[in-house]
Structure 1
C-alpha cells in the first residue's frame, strides 16, 4: 500500500466536487499542507487514511488507485523518443526512475518540452519533410479531459434536468428536442441544403438553427443537442473553461464540453450506465437503444465515472487511415501516444483491413500489463451521390481484469498466451527488439549490422 501513487486521483475527486483542500483536510483529520503533499505524491498514504478518504468520497478504496505515474512514464518515454534526444542514450529504466523519484521535476521537463514543440510549430522556415507539430490547444484539452477523468458532474446535472423536461413533454425524443428549443429559446429548427462541408449553422438574427439535410439521423440529433448545450449549459461550460489557459484552448474547450453535454442528453447517465451493465457494453445494441452512432456510444462509455455508479475504466483512441490520432483518453492504464502514431500491431490499425467489423485483441504492453481491446473501422460522409468519405478507426479497451464484463470476450480464452499480441507505444520507445514491424530503432540503441545476415527488420540487430 505504501507504493500507491494516488494523489492525482484524490485531487481530481476533490476538484470535481468543488471541495477546498482545507475542508477535505479538516474532514479527514490532517493538515492542509499535508494533504497538499499527498495530492502531489510527495507523502505516502497510510491504510487508515486511505479508508478515511475513500469513505469521505463514497468510493471503494480500490477506486482511488491512480494511473498518473503510468501516464507520466509514457509521456516521458515518448518525449525521450524525439530526435532531439537521439544522442542522450536514456534507458526505459532511467525514465521510470525519474517519474517515480521526481514526478514534479519530470512534469516540469515535459512542460518545457511541449513549449519547445509549440515554438517549433511557429517557426516560419520548416523543411518540407519535417513532421507536423501538434497544436498546443488540442494537447491542453486532452490533458484537461484526463485530469477530470472525462467526467463533468455539473454538465451531467444540466443535461439530466433538460432531458427530464423533454421527456415529460413528448414521447419521441427528437420531437421533444425540437419543441424544447422552440419553447425555451424561441429557436426554429429546420433541415436545409447547406454549402458543402457545413453540417450546421445558427442564424442569430432569425433565431434559426439549420441542420444539413444529408446527414445521418444520429449525426443530426447530436448537432442539435450540441447547439442546445451551448445555449442551455453555457454557465456550467464557462465555469469549467475558466480552468484553461488563455489562447485557443478555451474556444476548443467550449466545443468539447458542448459535445459532452450532447452525449449526456442523448444517453442520460443513469439509464445508459444500467444499459451498459445489462447489455454487457454491446455497442451496437446500445446505439439502437439510444439512437446513437458507434463512435458516440463508445465515447460516452468513457465518461461513466459517477461515484456509486461507475462503469468499466476504459481507454479510447480514434485514428484515421494515415495513423493520425485525433482522440485519445485512458482510464485503463494503457498509454496512448500524444504526438505520433501508435504501434502498428494494435488492432485499431488492423481494423482498417475489415471495416465495419468489430476486431478483438488481447494486447500486452512491454511492462507486462494486458488489455482487452476492440476496434472497428468505419467511414463518414454525407448521404449524397459521390460524397467524399473520411475513414476512421475507433479503439476501445480495458484492463484484462474487466474483460469478462464486455460481451466481446465471449468465446475467447483470456488465459491462452497464444492469443496475446505484444504491442508498444511507439517504435522509438518500445524495447522489443524482436519485432519485425519496427519503423524506427529504439532511442537508446545503436546499430550493429552483420552484412552476412538480413533480418526481417534491420533494427532487430542492434547494440
Structure 2
C-alpha cells in the first residue's frame, strides 16, 4: 500500500534548490547533469512538477544523499517538531498557521532549527527552575543541593540529549566508520580463537589488546556518596568492574562498550568533531551514544544480523534467542541497519516510562515522535504496560491518512536478585504500513483495510481528532468551546459538534 503524503508536509523542491546552491551549481548546470531542461528543473524546484523516480535516483547519486533522506521525511520531521514546539501555551496569542510553519521549513530550515534550539533551551531552563524552586522550598536557608542546582542551571543533560538525538537522526542512525571499526575488532578477537558472543573472549581481548583486567563484582549498596554500580573502569589500575547481577547479555554489552572507548575512541572523537559536538555535556553524551552503537555493531555484525532478521521476518524474540541479546538491544540494532547498499526496513523506535516520558526517540518510518513530553495515549506503547512482557501489535493512522504498523512490549531494566533496583519501560518499534508484511507480527492483521486501522494522533495539543475520548488538552490550532450544558467525548467541544469543527482563520 503506497503511503499518502502528509497534506501539510513540505515538498522536496526547496531541498533540491538548497543542495544545488551548496554545490555551487546553476540551474542550467544541474539540469544538464540530470538530462532535463532548465525550465523543467525550475518547475521541480518550485514544486510545480513531480519528481520522477529516475530523477530522484540521479539526484541521490549526484549529491551523495540517501534517497529516503533526499525525499520528504527529513523536512516532515522538522515540520512536526516545529509544530509541536509552537503548541506550547506560551505561543497561544500568536496565530501561527500550518502554512506559516511549512514556509519556514521550506525556505529557511536553519531558522526552523534555531527556533527548536530556543524552545529546547526554554524547556531545559523551565525544568531547572522548577527543580530550583522545589529545592528552595525544602531548603529555605539555601544550604544543601541548592548551590549545585544554581551552578547547573541551564546546563542540564536534557539539552545535551536533544543535541545527540538530532545528530543520530541526521545520520539515519548509521555510522559506517564505527561499523568498519567493529569489523576490525571482531577480526582481532577471532585471531585469538574467540567469538564476540563469549564473555571470556571479550575479557581476553581487553586483557591482550589493552592490558585491562575484568572483574565481575557485587554492586555497591548505594550508600551515602556511593551510587549503585553497573560498570566502572579504573584507568590507572587498568581494571574494569562489572556488576555480576546483570544478565549475560548485559555483561557482554558492558564489555563491548568498554572496548569501544579503548579501541575506537579516536574514531568516535572524530565523528563528534565532524558533527560539531566539540565539548561539554553534548560531547560526553555523544561519546556514550556512539560507544553504545559500536558495542551493538560488535556483538551483532551488520550483514549477518540483517540476514537473520530477514529470514526470521523480524521476529525479535527469535533474534534474541539466536544472538543471546536483550529485547531493547535487538530493537535498537534493527534501527541502525541503514547501509545505503544493503538496508533493512526503515523503522522508528521510542522508549517511554510509566509516567509517559520519552527517553529514546528515532524515526525513519515517517512517524512524528514528540520532542518533549508524551505522545498520543492511543499508541500501543502505552497499552503495553497493561500486558507486561507481551508484544502488542497495532495498525494505526494519523489524521493526515499516513498509516503505520507498530509493535510494543515492556522491558525491565536492572539487576538480578532480591532488592535489586528495577525500572519498567516500554519499547515501541514500527514502520510504514507498506512494510508491515515483512514483519511476522503483522500476520493475521488487516494491514490493507484502512477502515480497521486504529485512529491515533501525535500529541493532544496538535491533534485534530476533536471526538477523541482520551483528549487531555485542548488543541492549539482548532477552535473549540467548553459547553456546560453539553458533554461531548471531551470537555473541549468543536463549534457545531457533533456535525463539524472549525479552524481559526483557516488551516494552521
Q: How do residues 147-296 of structure 1 correspond to structure 2 at under 5 angstroms?
A: 147-172=170-195, 173-174=197-198, 175-196=200-221, 197-242=228-273, 243=275, 244-296=277-329
Instruction: State the match for 1:16 in structure 2.
Output: none
Instruction: State the match for 1:366 in structure 2.
Output: 399
Instruction: State the match for 2:142 in structure 1.
Output: none
Deviation at 1:208, TM superposition (A): 1.4
1:298–1:396 Cα contact (<8 Å) kept: yes
Instruction: State the match for 1:138 in structure 2.
Output: 161
1:52 aligns with 2:83: no
1:74 aligns with 2:97: no
Distance, in Å, in 1 between the alignment partners of 2:448 and 2:346 is 21
TM-score, normalization: structure 1? Answer: 0.87
Q: How do residues 296-335 of structure 1 correspond to structure 2 at under 5 angstroms?
A: 296-335=329-368
Distance, in Å, in 1 between the alignment partners of 2:464 and 2:370 is 15
Q: Deviations over 1:273-306 (max 9, x none)?
A: 1111111111111111111100000000000111
1:95 aligns with 2:122: no
Instruction: State the match for 1:432 in structure 2.
Output: 465
The secondary structure found in structure 2 opposite 1:333 is coil
Distance, in Å, in 2 between the alignment partners of 1:28 and 1:234 is 43
Deviation at 1:7, TM superposition (A): 4.1
Deviation at 1:4, TM superposition (A): 2.6
CA shift in 2, pair 1:60/1:195, >3 Å:
closer
Q: Deviations over 1:142-197 (max 9, x none)?
A: 10000111100000000011112223433543122121111111111121112142
2:306–2:337 Cα contact (<8 Å) kept: yes
Structure 2: stretches of 5+ with no match in the other structure: 34-40, 136-153, 222-227, 496-501, 503-508
2:183–2:301 Cα contact (<8 Å) kept: yes
1:28–1:53 Cα contact (<8 Å) kept: no
Distance, in Å, in 1 between the alignment partners of 2:45 and 2:126 is 33
The secondary structure found in structure 1 opposite 2:79 is helix
CA shift in 2, pair 1:123/1:380, >3 Å:
closer
Distance, in Å, in 1 between the alignment partners of 2:441 and 2:281 is 39
The secondary structure found in structure 1 opposite 2:465 is coil
Distance, in Å, in 1 between the alignment partners of 2:449 and 2:163 is 40
Bigger Cα displacement from structure 2, 246-255 vs 379-388: 379-388
2:14–2:46 Cα contact (<8 Å) kept: no
CA shift in 2, pair 1:302/1:60, >3 Å:
closer
Deviation at 1:316, TM superposition (A): 0.3
Deviation at 1:134, TM superposition (A): 7.6
Q: 2:370 aligns with which of 323, 337, 359?
A: 337
TM-score, normalization: structure 2? Answer: 0.79
Distance, in Å, in 2 between the alignment partners of 1:290 and 1:259 is 17
Distance, in Å, in 1 between the alignment partners of 2:161 and 2:69 is 28
CA shift in 2, pair 1:43/1:416, >3 Å:
closer
Instruction: State the match for 1:402 in structure 2.
Output: 435
User: How much is the aligned-residue C-alpha RMSD, in angstroms?
Assistant: 3.3
Q: How do residues 19-38 of structure 1 correspond to structure 2 at under 5 angstroms?
A: none
Distance, in Å, in 2 between the alignment partners of 1:137 and 1:372 is 31
Distance, in Å, in 2 between the alignment partners of 1:206 and 1:126 is 39
CA shift in 2, pair 1:452/1:43, >3 Å:
closer
CA shift in 2, pair 1:92/1:3, >3 Å:
closer
Distance, in Å, in 2 between the alignment partners of 1:83 and 1:128 is 22
Name which one, 1 or 2, has greater alpha-carbon Rg: 2
Give the number of aligned pairs.
443
Deviation at 1:49, TM superposition (A): 5.5
Distance, in Å, in 2 between the alignment partners of 1:92 and 1:342 is 20
Deviation at 1:452, TM superposition (A): 2.3
CA shift in 2, pair 1:57/1:4, >3 Å:
closer
Instruction: State the match for 1:35 in structure 2.
Output: none
